[in-house]
Amino acid sequence: AQKVTQAQTEISVVEKEDVTLDCVYETRDTTYYLFWYKQPPSGELVFLIRRNSFDEQNEISGRYSWNFQKSTSSFNFTITASQVVDSAVYFCALIETGTASKLTFGTGTRLQVTL
């Protein structure tokens, strides 16, 4: 069965620090998709990135970067030069191709960025 683990429950950083959010997943499928979502205090779920299991190329988008490593079943997310507006709960999620596209979420990491 698919499973996503976010071991970090809560992280607090000071603005401008870099922060990495960890995500480890379990799946028996060879084809799967990984996601990161952001949930700000307002409550909505905002899509950040999708990565498929065949594409291990890491990605940078502005202050965000993602490190996907199949060998360790990890899909970590780094925010560079964090800002107060980055304060939110971040969820890692997984879809296996054989599960009718059911998205399985991790328990989330609450990031608090202070001045």
Partner 1 sequence: DSGVTQTPKHLITATGQRVTLRCSPRSGDLSVYWYQQSLDQGLQFLIQYYNGEERAKGNILERFSAQQFPDLHSELNLSSLELGDSALYFCASSVDSYNYGYTFGSGTRLTVV
- Contact between 63 and partner 1 per CB under 8 A: no
- Smallest gap from residue 50 Cβ to partner 1 (A): 5
Number of neighbouring beta carbons within 10 Å of residue 54: 10
**What part of residues 13-52 is at the interface with partner 1 (CB under 8 A)?**
33, 35, 37, 42-47, 50, 52
The span of 22-30, 61-69, 79-87, 98-106 binding partner 1 (CB under 8 A) equals 98-106
- Among residues 71, 93, 110, 91, the alpha carbon closest in space to that of 3 is found at 93
**Among 5, 13, 97, 110, contact with partner 1 (rule: CB under 8 A):** 97
Number of neighbouring beta carbons within 10 Å of residue 62: 8
Cβ atoms of residues 26 and 74 within 8 Å: no
Within 8 A by CB and 6+ apart from 31, the residues are 52, 53, 54, 96, 97
- Contact between 64 and partner 1 per CB under 8 A: no
Contact residues: partner 1, CB under 8 A:
33, 35, 37, 42-47, 50, 52, 91, 95, 97, 99-105, 107-108
